[in-house]
A and B are shown apart, each in its own frame.
Chain A
Amino acid sequence: MNGEITAGAPGVMARAAAAGEEPSDDFRREVGGHADESGGDMCAASGKVLSVREAGHRYGDRFGCRGVSFDLWPGEVLAVVGESGSGKSTLLGLLSARLSTDEGSVRCQTSGGELTELATLSEREVRRLWRTDWGFVHQNAADGLRMHVSAGGNVGEPLMANGWRHYGQIRARAAEWLERVEIPAHRMDETPATFSGGMRQRVQIARNLVFGPRLVFMDEPTSGLDVSVQARLLDLIRSLVADLGLAVVIVTHDLAVARLISHRTLVMKDGQVIEHGLTDRVLEDPQAAYTQLLVSSILKG
Chain B
Amino acid sequence: MTHSPPVLSARDVAKTFTLHLQGSLQLPVLQGVSFDVPAGRCVVLGGDSGAGKSTIMKMVYGSYLTDSGSILLAHREGLLDLATAPPRQVLAARRESMGYVSQFLRAVPRVPAIDVVAEPLLDNGASRSQAREQAGALLSRLSIPERLWELPPATFSGGEQQRVNIARGFATFTPLLLLDEPTASLDARNRGVVIEMIRERLSAGTGMLAICHDAQVRQAVADHIVDVAGFAPPREEAP
The residues of A with any CB-CB pair to B shorter than 8 Å are 1-2, 39-40, 71, 73, 76, 231-232, 234-235, 238, 242, 260, 263-264, 277-278, 280-281, 284-285, 287-289, 292-293, 296
Report B121-146 CB contacts with A as 1/0, cut-off 8 Å.
01111001000000000000000000
Let me know if B218 is at the binding interface, CB within 8 A: no
- Count how many chain B residues have C-beta atoms less than 8 Å from C-beta atoms of the other chain: 27
Distance (Å) between the CB of B170 and the closest chain A CB?
Answer: 21
Q: Are B63 and A284 in contact (CB under 8 A)?
A: yes
Q: Which of A71, A73, A235, A287 contacts B111 (CB 8 A)?
A: A235
Q: Are B108 and A281 in contact (CB under 8 A)?
A: no
Question: Contacts of B213 on A, CB cut-off 8 Å?
Answer: none
Given A232-B110, A277-B87, A278-B90, A292–B19 Cβ distance below 8 Å?
yes
Q: Are B19 and A263 in contact (CB under 8 A)?
A: no
Residue of B nearest to A230 (CB): B109
Q: Please, how many angstroms separate the alpha-carbon atoms of A284 and B63 in the complex? A: 7
Question: Contacts of B92 on A, CB cut-off 8 Å?
Answer: 1
Q: Which of B21, B58, B108, B128 contacts A292 (CB 8 A)?
A: B21
Residue of A nearest to B63 (CB): A280
Nearest first, the 8 A-B pairs at minimum CB distance are A289-B20, A231-B109, A285-B64, A280-B63, A278-B87, A235-B110, A284-B63, A292-B20
Q: Are A2 and B58 in contact (CB under 8 A)?
A: no
The residues of B with any CB-CB pair to A shorter than 8 Å are 17-21, 24, 58, 62-65, 87-88, 90-92, 95-96, 108-111, 122-125, 128
Q: Please, how many angstroms separate the alpha-carbon atoms of A260 and B110 in the complex? A: 12
Question: Contacts of B125 on A, CB cut-off 8 Å?
Answer: 2, 40
Q: Are B20 and A284 in contact (CB under 8 A)?
A: no
- What 7 new A-B contacts, CB under 8 Å, besides A281-B65, A293-B20? A39-B128, A235-B110, A235-B111, A278-B90, A280-B62, A284-B58, A292-B19
Q: Please, how many angstroms separate the alpha-carbon atoms of A288 and B19 in the complex? A: 9
Residue of B nearest to A288 (CB): B20
Q: Please, how many angstroms separate the alpha-carbon atoms of A289 and B21 in the complex? A: 7
Question: Contacts of B111 on A, CB cut-off 8 Å?
Answer: 235
11 A-B residue pairs with CB within 8 Å: A235-B110, A278-B90, A281-B62, A281-B64, A284-B63, A285-B58, A285-B65, A288-B20, A292-B20, A293-B20, A296-B21
Distance (Å) between the CB of B15 and the closest chain A CB?
Answer: 9
Question: Contacts of A277 on B, CB cut-off 8 Å?
Answer: 65, 87
Question: Contacts of B65 on A, CB cut-off 8 Å?
Answer: 277, 281, 285, 287
Question: Contacts of B64 on A, CB cut-off 8 Å?
Answer: 281, 284-285
Residue of B nearest to A76 (CB): B88
Q: Which of B63, B88, B109 contacts A232 (CB 8 A)?
A: B109
